[in-house]
Amino acid sequence: MREIGHGAVGVQGDVAELDDLDRLYARIQRDHGRVDIVFANAGVSESAPIGSVAEDHFDRVFNTNVKGMVFTVQKALPLMSVGGAIVLAGSGAGSKGFANLSIYSATKAAIRSFARTWTADLKDRGIRVNVVSPGMVLTPAMQTYLQDNAGAEEWMLQTIPFGRLARTEEIAKAVLFLASGESSFVGGEELLVDGGFVAV
């Protein structure tokens, strides 16, 4: 949290556990009284071909990525005022077919749908809901994956028109745009930040 700075406060919890979300928002209400922006970005990714998908795999991914998303947003609403913004973390995987990622991809497709339907649900409150969907991003976890999987980076670079992975700050800038007044007339949209991967 010290690295984030700017008065950031960490509240540990599991988005799939509603009591943890209640504790989070009680803390926010106590300390700040309101929520201006929600960036719902908790998520997990696990892979399995359809013939090997187990119930616990399905439950883990859907509980975090779908149930967690729904109740993270729902429980924030009483603290949000007119003109707030909600940014949901999607993925290019929600729009493209990847082997072994059917469950994860389905959760990300659901998130795209949430942005559209929640925009309609919240129109009378002026709360904008959008999705930022990264492609392949050079995070520490991705660096470990590339080191452990020979040929993966070469494949990625060949499939991304821009010829490189995204930098984390590029994703952050997209989130900031959707959270700010700069996107005041943008609602129900999915902003792909993937170097053209899904489009091409």
Give the model confidence (pLDDT) of 171-190 as tens digits. Answer: 999 999 999 999 999 999 99
Sites in the chain below the pLDDT cut of 50: 1
- Establish if 200 belongs to a structural domain: no
Residue 104: active-site member: yes
pLDDT value of position 98 = 87
- Distance, in Å, from the CA atom of 199 to the CA atom of 197, rounded to the nearest integer, reads 6
- Establish if 6 belongs to a structural domain: no
Residue type, 4: I
**Tokens 């930098």 -> residue:** 167
Q: Tally helices (H) and strands (E) across the chain.
A: 7, 4
- Establish if 183 belongs to a structural domain: yes
Q: Please give the DSSP secondary-structure letter assigned to residue 166.
A: B
Domain that holds residue 131: 18-192
Structure token digits, residue 9? 């406060």
Instruction: Read off the CATH number of the domain in which 124 is found.
Output: 3.40.50.720
Structure token digits, residue 2? 């010290």
Is the model's pTM score more than 0.85? yes
Cα Rg, the chain, nearest whole Å: 17
- Establish if 129 belongs to a structural domain: yes
**Tokens 């109740």 -> residue:** 71
- Distance, in Å, from the CA atom of 21 to the CA atom of 12, rounded to the nearest integer, reads 10
Residue type, 37: I
Select which of 72, 90, 94, 104 is catalytic: 104
Q: Please give the DSSP secondary-structure letter assigned to residue 39.
A: E
Residues in the chain: 200
Q: CA angle at residue 38 from 93 to 189, to 5 degrees?
A: 45
> Phi-psi category of 151—alpha, beta or left, where left has phi over 0 and alpha has psi -120 to 50?
left
- Establish if 51 belongs to a structural domain: yes
- Establish if 120 belongs to a structural domain: yes
- HSE of 36, CA atoms in CB hemisphere, 13 A: 6
pLDDT value of position 5 = 66
- Establish if 73 belongs to a structural domain: yes
- Establish if 28 belongs to a structural domain: yes
> Phi-psi category of 120—alpha, beta or left, where left has phi over 0 and alpha has psi -120 to 50?
alpha
pLDDT value of position 2 = 63
> Phi-psi category of 122—alpha, beta or left, where left has phi over 0 and alpha has psi -120 to 50?
alpha
Number of domains in the chain: 1
pLDDT value of position 53 = 97
